[in-house]
């Protein structure tokens, strides 16, 4: 049975002040590395819960290569309001319609160990006021900068900021040619899986304090900067900024992790006890559990960019090179072999006889299928309406 004592542990978290990787040395003794439970109960939005373990640098996982993180989670209100979900490393709980004026707690059940974990009962911190959200095109930098302004009305000087985004994009290449059992024809319309939509969320939830500022206000706070060569803005793009206020205890917790990281403190000093956070094992209260759960009402600001109007996007040289490198000629080759090895007819090449192609250029089919880049070819409901003038 392995035990880890005075090991250098690495904690990778979703919430950060400056850094999101926290290495530290601690005199920890146990058969498994400490459990990390991340998530803020977001009233008025979707609550995301992530489960992991502090890393010992050995990269140990289950025999099948997957870490031992299958779990179920619940957000529970004092009046009996409850929502549950399950997942592997991450799950999502719909708390959009939950009332603000009561306390909540997070419950987590680890399926493979049978252990149950719970946060404290938490009062909901009321949302800040979103004053403005905007984007600015910076030609010199070659990027679009998205920012917002808000204030907290004296409720709390501690803010957390995250975002999610949806964007429409095209495949790297397109063709009107079709392959039909050895016959290539020009059908006059693009390959079927040309347009897709991608949904992403920010990797970290930033935490910031206005405690040292003259006013409890964030002005033009930067959230996202997108290069003009990023396909996220190639067609249409939507950004949802999600801001909330958190308690002083929550802010101090994450600020403390930052101070003991390489970025802000001494790697070898003893880890303070408050890194344990406000979660506990229901049946083993002495178990070290890492994470701090907050309950906050969320203020949302939305921004939309339409490249048909702004015309700022440019195709990157890298994408052009990928398309070029993915092409092969079928001259002197067996077309069936090309097709069954993942290629598809792309361009007809004409010689002296303009009545019929001399040969065809083929391209990797992944270049023609937008889904190969990770998105889906199902348009979000009401997507077109969002971009109407």
For 348-369, the pLDDT digits (tens) are 999 888 888 999 999 998 899 9
Edge-to-edge, what's the strand order for the sheet holding 343-349?
327-329, 359-364, 343-349
The mean pLDDT value for 234-251 works out to: 93
End-to-end Cα separation, the chain, in angstroms: 65
Is the pLDDT reported for residue 268 higher than 60?
no
**DSSP3 helix / strand / coil % (the chain, rounded to 5):** 15, 45, 45
pTM for the complete prediction?
0.80
CB 71 within 8 A of CB 109: yes
The mean pLDDT value for 225-236 works out to: 97
> Residue 64: its pLDDT value, please?
42
CB 298 within 8 A of CB 161: no
Return d(Cα 239, Cα 225) in angstroms, integer: 11
pLDDT higher for 294 or 57?
A: 294
Nearest to 117 by CA among 275, 294, 282: 282
């919430």: which residue's tokens?
Answer: 15
To which H or E segment does residue 254 belong? helix 248-259
CB 46 within 8 A of CB 30: no
Is the pLDDT reported for residue 66 higher than 60?
no
Instruction: Give residue 130's pLDDT band: very low, low, confident or very high (50, 70, 90).
Output: very high
The mean pLDDT value for 303-315 works out to: 96
Nearest to 34 by CA among 300, 279, 303: 279
To which H or E segment does residue 258 belong? helix 248-259
Nearest to 208 by CA among 160, 248, 242: 160
Q: Residue 55 carries which DSSP code?
A: B
Instruction: Give residue 35's pLDDT band: very low, low, confident or very high (50, 70, 90).
Output: confident
Structure tokens at 213: 């500022």
pLDDT higher for 191 or 66?
A: 191
CB 359 within 8 A of CB 330: yes
The mean of the pLDDT values for the chain is 84
> Residue 30: its pLDDT value, please?
53
The mean pLDDT value for 93-109 works out to: 96
**Max Cα separation, the chain?**
83
Return d(Cα 110, Cα 82) in angstroms, integer: 18
For 380-389, the pLDDT digits (tens) are 999 999 998 7
Is the pLDDT reported for residue 65 higher than 50?
no
> Residue 61: its pLDDT value, please?
39
The mean pLDDT value for 18-25 works out to: 36
């Amino acid at each position: 049975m392995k035990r880890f004592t005075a090991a250098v542990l690495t904690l990778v978290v979703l919430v950060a002040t400056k850094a999101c990787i926290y290495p530290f040395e601690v005199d920890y003794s146990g058969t498994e590395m400490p459990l990390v439970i991340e998530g803020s109960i977001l009233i008025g939005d979707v609550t995301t819960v992530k489960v992991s373990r502090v890393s010992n640098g050995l990269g140990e996982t289950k025999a099948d290569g997957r870490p031992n993180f299958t779990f179920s989670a619940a957000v529970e209100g004092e009046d009996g309001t409850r929502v549950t979900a399950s997942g592997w490393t991450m799950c999502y709980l719909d708390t959009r319609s939950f009332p603000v004026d009561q306390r909540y707690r997070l419950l987590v059940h680890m399926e493979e160990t049978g252990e149950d974990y719970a946060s404290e009962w938490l009062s909901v911190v009321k949302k800040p006021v979103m004053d403005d959200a905007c984007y600015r095109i910076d030609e010199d930098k070659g990027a679009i900068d998205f920012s917002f302004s808000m204030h907290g009305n004296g409720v709390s000087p501690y803010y957390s900021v995250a975002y999610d985004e949806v964007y429409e994009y095209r495949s790297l290449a397109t063709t009107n040619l079709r392959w039909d059992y050895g016959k290539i024809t020009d059908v006059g319309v693009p390959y079927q899986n040309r347009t897709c939509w991608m949904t992403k969320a920010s990797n970290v939830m930033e935490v910031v304090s206005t405690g040292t500022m003259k006013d409890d206000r964030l002005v033009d706070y930067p959230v996202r900067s997108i290069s003009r060569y990023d396909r996220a803005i190639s067609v249409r793009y939507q950004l949802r900024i999600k801001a909330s206020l958190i308690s002083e205890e929550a802010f101090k917790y994450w600020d403390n992790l930052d101070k003991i990281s390489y970025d802000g403190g001494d790697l070898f000093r003893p880890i303070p006890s408050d890194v344990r956070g406000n979660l506990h094992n229901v049946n083993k209260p002495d178990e070290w559990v890492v994470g701090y759960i907050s309950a906050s009402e969320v203020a949302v600001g939305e921004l939309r960019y339409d490249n048909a109007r702004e015309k700022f996007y440019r195709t990157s040289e890298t994408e052009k090179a990928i398309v070029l490198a993915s092409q092969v000629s079928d001259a002197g080759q067996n077309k069936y072999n090309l097709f069954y090895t993942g290629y598809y007819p792309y361009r007809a090449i004409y010689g002296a006889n303009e009545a019929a192609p001399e040969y065809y250029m083929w391209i990797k089919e992944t270049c023609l299928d937008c889904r190969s880049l990770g998105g889906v070819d199902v348009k979000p409901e009401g997507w077109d309406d969002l971009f109407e003038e």
